[in-house]
Amino acid sequence: MAKAEGRIFGYESPEKIRTDFLETFNFDSPGQYIKTETSEFIAACPFSGLPDVGRLIIEYYPEGGKCIELKSLKYYVVSFRTVGLFQEGVTKRIYSDLKEALGTNRLKVTTIYNTRGGFATTCIEGAL
């Protein structure tokens, strides 16, 4: 048996996610399709505390007259690094936070996690 078998690394609760980092700017083009993504997304597995690494894709139409400011989005995304959440819950949380910040119903959040335990997982919340 591996010496690390059964070990759990510590992780933070979802209250540590920094929604206060999210900033928007006014943008008057509700029909423009906006897509931004990063391959540097990390959250913690709530079973082991090990990192869940993957791609985060955010797509939206700024119907609420706002765009997300990218540096603030990066800081918000980094705040997930030590938070223990299931992959599906992460996707839903990001969707909810961005929907509130942007004031749009045309929002889609996709997370594509690196293969772990033989499974590659993609989670999608929302629709355009």
Burial class (CB in 10 A: 0-12, 13-18, 19+), 28: exposed
Active-site annotation holder among 28, 52, 67, 97:
52
Catalytic residue flag (residue 67): no
| Cα–Cα distance, 76 to 3 (Å, whole number) | 35
| Cα–Cα distance, 92 to 97 (Å, whole number) | 9
- Cβ proximity of 108 and 126 under 8 Å: yes
Active-site annotation holder among 20, 45, 67, 123:
45
- Cβ proximity of 11 and 82 under 8 Å: yes
Catalytic residue flag (residue 52): yes
Active site residues: 45, 52
